Amino acid sequence: MGALVETAFSQMQSCAECNLPSVYFARAWASVSLPSPPIAPQGLSLPAESLTVRHSTRFWLLAPALIVGAVLWHAHARAGEDAKLNKARRLVELSGEANLDGALALSLHAELKGNLGTKADSPQGKVALEVIENSKRNSYAAGLVKLYAKHLDEATIDGLIQFYETPAGKALATKRSELWRAQQKLCEQERDGILAEVQKSVAKVKAKEAIAQSEARAERTLKVIAHAQASFREGDLDKNGNLDYAADLASLARLKLITPAVGRGTSLGYIYKLHRPELPGGNFMWLATASPKKPGKTGKRHFGINFAGQLRWADQPLEYDPKSCEFKNGTPLGN
């Protein structure tokens, strides 16, 4: 019988219909093996019908055996899975992790009570705290058993069980809940620290973007003032017949050439000033500056523009000649 099983096993390894372990089908195949077909005399061949009938007979005899083989294989696999789950359950118990349900409930209870504050004594608060206190269902431990069985092989589980049976392993297991709560607190501290760093970094980026936007608006506003002065002079909007420039920002704002805020001297984080020399011919010159209201927060750079179209910027307030309205410092900006 052994030789027959061995022969059947080699036959089943090439069987295209087999998706289950060959050993069970080898036993099934051997159980219904038929005698070898007769050898045809030299020069003759057996009818194809006889071979077809023989294989058909074997198939129908083999079908029940195939079912038995499948059942045996499933039972063997299930037994292996159950054995691994039992080992994983033993590991969870030895490691002390079976008690983490209680630690989790205590942690949630303390956190919720802290969040509720004075509302903890309200009907809703009492119900919430009671639900947490009664939530020790060992569901965490049961889920952990499945995770260990899924992600760890039996050799690893056996090694861990051996460790937790040692004095060091037992000492670790007795501190498991305490360590878990400490780890949770440490994780929360690390999370809060990381989030604080993220918020700080994001705030810096936002502040930098806000400063850039504020500076860009200040530059554009000075160009608007220059355009307003040109319109004021060319249209002789003060009707004095001299084709001169406006003496202050309020005059331009009254004519709606600039916004009321700029006309009052402050707009979107910048302070605006208009200078026109108080001397003969001074009404044909002017200079405007824009400085951050809160340096470093609403802007870092100072800007200026004059009647000649010179647009400048500097990290410090721009200096200029009050008579000629020409800048003494600053970096030119393109128009």
- Mean pLDDT of all residues in 293-298: 94
Question: Which pLDDT does position 277 carry in this prediction?
Answer: 92
Task: Evaluate if residue 276 carries a pLDDT over 60.
Answer: yes
Tokens of 225: 């003032």
315 or 4, higher pLDDT: 315
The secondary structure element, H or E, covering residue 170 is helix 167-174
Band (12; pLDDT cuts 50, 70, 90): very low
In the chain, what percentage of residues exceed pLDDT 90? 46
Task: Evaluate if residue 60 carries a pLDDT over 80.
Answer: no
Question: Which pLDDT does position 19 carry in this prediction?
Answer: 47
- Mean pLDDT of all residues in 272-280: 92
d(CA 333, CA 212): 15
Question: Which pLDDT does position 25 carry in this prediction?
Answer: 53
Band (259; pLDDT cuts 50, 70, 90): very high
Four-point Cα dihedral 190, 192, 194, 198, nearest 10: 180
d(CA 134, CA 119): 20
Question: Which pLDDT does position 163 carry in this prediction?
Answer: 93
d(CA 238, CA 234): 10
Band (98; pLDDT cuts 50, 70, 90): confident
* 139: CB partners within 8 A, 6+ apart: 101
Residue 101 and residue 181 in contact, taking contact as beta carbons nearer than 8 Å = no
Question: Which pLDDT does position 264 carry in this prediction?
Answer: 96
| Minimum mean pLDDT range among 56-60, 278-282, 288-292, 300-304 | 56-60
231 or 49, higher pLDDT: 231
- Mean pLDDT of all residues in 321-327: 94
R_g of the chain computed on alpha carbons: 45
Sheet of strand 287-292: strand arrangement: 266-267, 270-275, 287-292, 302-306, 311-314, 331-332
Question: Which pLDDT does position 237 carry in this prediction?
Answer: 94
* 240: CB partners within 8 A, 6+ apart: none
Question: Which pLDDT does position 178 carry in this prediction?
Answer: 86
pLDDT per residue as tens digits for the range 146-188: 999 999 999 999 999 999 999 999 999 888 888 878 888 888 8
* 309: CB partners within 8 A, 6+ apart: 226, 335
d(CA 83, CA 260): 83
Give the largest CA-CA distance in the chain.
138
| Minimum mean pLDDT range among 202-206, 277-281, 284-288 | 277-281
- Mean pLDDT of all residues in 250-257: 96
Q: Average pLDDT, whole number, for the chain?
A: 80
Residue 214 and residue 270 in contact, taking contact as beta carbons nearer than 8 Å = yes
- Mean pLDDT of all residues in 255-284: 93
Cβ-defined contacts of 29-36 (< 8 Å, 24+): 29/62, 29/65, 30/1, 30/4, 30/5, 31/65, 32/58, 32/61, 32/62, 32/65, 33/4, 33/8, 34/58
DSSP line for 184-234: HHHHHHHHHHHHHHHHHHHHHHHHHHHHHHHHHHHHHHHHHHHHHHHHHHH
- Mean pLDDT of all residues in 249-264: 96
d(CA 56, CA 48): 12
- Mean pLDDT of all residues in 61-84: 62
Question: Which pLDDT does position 116 carry in this prediction?
Answer: 72
Question: Which pLDDT does position 8 carry in this prediction?
Answer: 46
The secondary structure element, H or E, covering residue 290 is strand 287-292
- Mean pLDDT of all residues in 223-244: 94
Question: Which pLDDT does position 30 carry in this prediction?
Answer: 54
In the chain, what percentage of residues exceed pLDDT 70? 68
* 205: CB partners within 8 A, 6+ apart: none
Question: Which pLDDT does position 18 carry in this prediction?
Answer: 46
Delineate the domains of the chain, giving CATH numbers in brackets. Answer: 209-332 (3.30.540)
Task: Evaluate if residue 286 carries a pLDDT over 80.
Answer: yes
End-to-end CA distance of the chain: 102
Task: Evaluate if residue 231 carries a pLDDT over 90.
Answer: yes
Question: Which pLDDT does position 236 carry in this prediction?
Answer: 93
